[in-house]
C-alpha cells in the first residue's frame, strides 16, 4: 500500500508535460528508456523500474541490454559510445549530492549530442528524477503501470 | 614556469594588498549550455510545474526547503536566487545560515519546519536509500495529506532546478530578488 496516493492533478500534468517534451526533443525512444531505467535504479524507484522496463521491452530493447544496464561501464560491446556517454551523464546528473557534473562527463556527452539534443537529454534525466522523487516519497508500489 | 606564474607564486595576491583593498576574486566563467533556449518546451513545463507545486505552501517554508535542497545538490545559482528571495521576504540571515546544519540548530525553526527539512533531505538524497518511515511519519504529523503531497512536489521541483543549474553550470551572482516571479 502506498503512503498516500494524493498528487495535485496540475502537478501531475506538468510532470507529464516535462517528460513528454524532453523525450520528444531527444527523439530516440530506446535511448530514453536506458536513461530513465538507469536513473530509477540509482534512485531505487520500484514503480518507475517496473513501468520503464515494461516500456523498454515493448520497444524491443534486448534483454541483455536491460540486464546489464546497472553495469554498463563494464559491459563492453553491449552499449555504443553514444549510449555510454548518455548513461555517464545520467549518473552524474542524478547523483548531484556527491559533487558537480564533471567536465569529462559533460564534454563526452557534448561530443555525441548537439546542444538541442543535449538540453533535452538533461531535461529527460531531470524528468525521471522528478518521477522517482514523487513515487519513492509517497511509496507508490510497483505494478500500477498498464501498457 | 612562466615569469607571470613565478611572480604569482612568490608574491601571492593576499600578500600584496592592503587590508582596506578588497580581495580580487577569481574570474567568472560562462555557463555550459543555454538549456532553456535549446529546449523551450522543457523550460515551459518546468515553469508550469513550479507554479503548480508551490500552490498551498507557506512561501517562507518553501524558501527554506529550496535553500536546503540547493545546499545538498551544490547548486550555486539556486542558492544565490533563493537566499536573496528569502531575505527579501523577511527571512533572517541566521536562519538561512543555520540551514547547513539544521539538525544541530533545531531551535531556530518550528517543529513543522524541522519536519519539512528532514523530508527535504530524505527526498533529495534518494541514492543513499529510501525515504525512511520515521521521516515521512514525522512530516505527516505536521502537514495534512494534500499539503504533504505539495511539499513532496516542491522538494522535487527544486531538485529539478538544481539539476539544470549544476549540469549547465548556471552562473550565480546576478539574480535580483523577486525577478523570477
Note the pTM of the prediction, 2 decimals: 0.92
Cα within 13 Å of Cα(A5), Cβ side: 3
For the record, the C-alpha cell of B46 comes out as: 518546468
CATH number of the structural domain spanning residue B111: 1.20.1290.10
> ipTM exceeding 0.90?
yes
pLDDT confidence band for B27 (50 / 70 / 90): very high
List all residues 6 or more positions away from B89 whose beta carbon is below 8 Å from its beta carbon: B59, B60, B63
Provide the 10 A C-beta neighbour count for residue B57: 17
Query: Does residue B99 lie within any of the structural domains?
Result: yes
Query: Does residue B78 lie within any of the structural domains?
Result: yes
Query: Does residue B27 lie within any of the structural domains?
Result: no
Minimum distance, in Å, between the CA of residue A33 and any CA atom of chain B: 18
Query: Does residue B93 lie within any of the structural domains?
Result: yes
User: Each residue of B112-166: pLDDT tens digit?
Assistant: 999 999 999 999 999 988 999 999 999 999 999 999 999 999 999 999 999 999 9
CATH 3.60.10.10 fits A9-138, yes or no: no
Query: Does residue B2 lie within any of the structural domains?
Result: no
For the record, the C-alpha cell of A54 comes out as: 515494461
Distance of CA A2 to the CA centre of its chain: 22
Distance CA B12, CA B5 (A): 10
- Which residue out of B139, B152, B169 would a mutagenesis test of the A interface target, given it has the greatest number of A Cβ atoms within 10 Å? B152
pLDDT confidence band for B179 (50 / 70 / 90): confident
**Number of domains forming the structure of chain B:** 1
Using alpha carbons only, what angle is made at residue A73 by residues A72 and A78, rounded to the nearest 5 degrees? Answer: 50
For chain A, give every domain's residue range.
9-138
Cα within 13 Å of Cα(B70), Cβ side: 24
Check CB contact under 8 Å for A22 and B160: no
Cα within 13 Å of Cα(A61), Cβ side: 25
User: Each residue of A37-65: pLDDT tens digit?
Assistant: 999 999 999 999 999 999 999 999 999 99
The dihedral through the CA atoms of A82, A100, B99, B126 has a sign that is: positive
Q: Which residue has the higher pLDDT, B8 or B155?
A: B155
Which domain, by its residues, includes B108?
Answer: 58-169
Minimum distance, in Å, between the CA of residue A101 and any CA atom of chain B: 6
Amino acid at each position: 500500500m502506498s503512503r498516500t496516493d494524493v498528487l495535485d492533478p496540475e502537478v501531475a500534468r506538468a510532470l507529464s508535460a516535462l517528460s513528454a517534451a524532453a523525450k520528444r526533443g531527444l527523439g530516440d525512444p530506446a535511448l530514453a528508456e536506458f536513461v530513465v531505467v538507469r536513473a530509477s535504479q540509482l534512485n531505487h524507484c520500484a514503480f518507475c523500474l517496473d513501468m520503464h522496463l515494461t516500456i523498454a521491452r515493448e520497444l524491443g530493447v534486448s534483454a541483455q541490454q536491460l540486464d546489464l544496464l546497472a553495469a554498463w561501464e563494464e559491459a563492453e560491446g553491449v552499449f555504443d559510445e553514444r549510449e555510454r556517454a548518455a548513461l555517464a551523464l545520467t549518473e552524474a546528473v542524478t547523483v548531484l549530492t556527491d559533487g558537480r557534473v564533471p567536465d569529462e562527463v559533460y564534454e563526452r556527452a557534448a561530443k555525441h549530442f548537439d546542444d538541442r539534443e543535449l538540453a533535452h537529454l538533461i531535461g529527460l534525466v531531470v524528468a525521471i528524477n522528478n518521477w522517482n522523487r514523487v513515487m519513492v516519497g509517497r511509496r507508490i508500489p510497483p505494478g500500477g503501470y498498464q501498457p | 614556469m612562466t615569469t607571470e606564474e613565478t611572480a604569482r607564486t612568490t608574491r601571492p595576491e593576499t600578500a600584496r594588498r592592503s587590508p582596506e583593498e578588497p580581495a580580487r576574486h577569481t574570474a567568472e566563467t560562462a555557463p555550459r549550455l543555454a538549456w532553456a533556449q535549446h529546449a523551450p518546451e522543457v523550460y515551459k513545463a518546468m515553469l508550469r510545474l513550479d507554479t503548480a507545486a508551490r500552490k498551498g505552501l507557506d512561501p517562507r517554508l518553501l524558501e527554506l526547503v529550496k535553500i536546503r535542497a540547493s545546499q545538498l545538490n551544490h547548486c550555486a545559482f539556486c542558492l544565490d536566487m533563493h537566499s536573496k528571495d528569502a531575505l527579501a521576504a523577511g527571512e533572517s540571515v541566521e536562519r538561512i545560515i543555520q540551514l547547513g546544519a539544521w539538525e544541530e540548530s533545531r531551535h531556530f525553526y518550528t517543529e513543522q519546519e524541522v519536519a519539512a527539512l528532514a523530508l527535504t533531505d530524505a527526498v533529495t538524497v534518494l541514492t543513499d536509500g529510501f525515504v525512511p518511515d520515521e521521516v515521512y511519519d514525522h512530516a505527516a504529523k505536521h502537514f495534512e495529506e494534500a499539503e504533504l503531497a505539495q511539499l513532496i512536489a516542491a522538494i522535487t521541483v527544486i531538485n529539478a532546478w538544481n539539476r539544470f543549474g549544476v549540469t549547465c553550470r548556471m552562473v550565480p551572482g546576478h539574480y535580483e530578488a523577486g525577478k523570477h516571479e
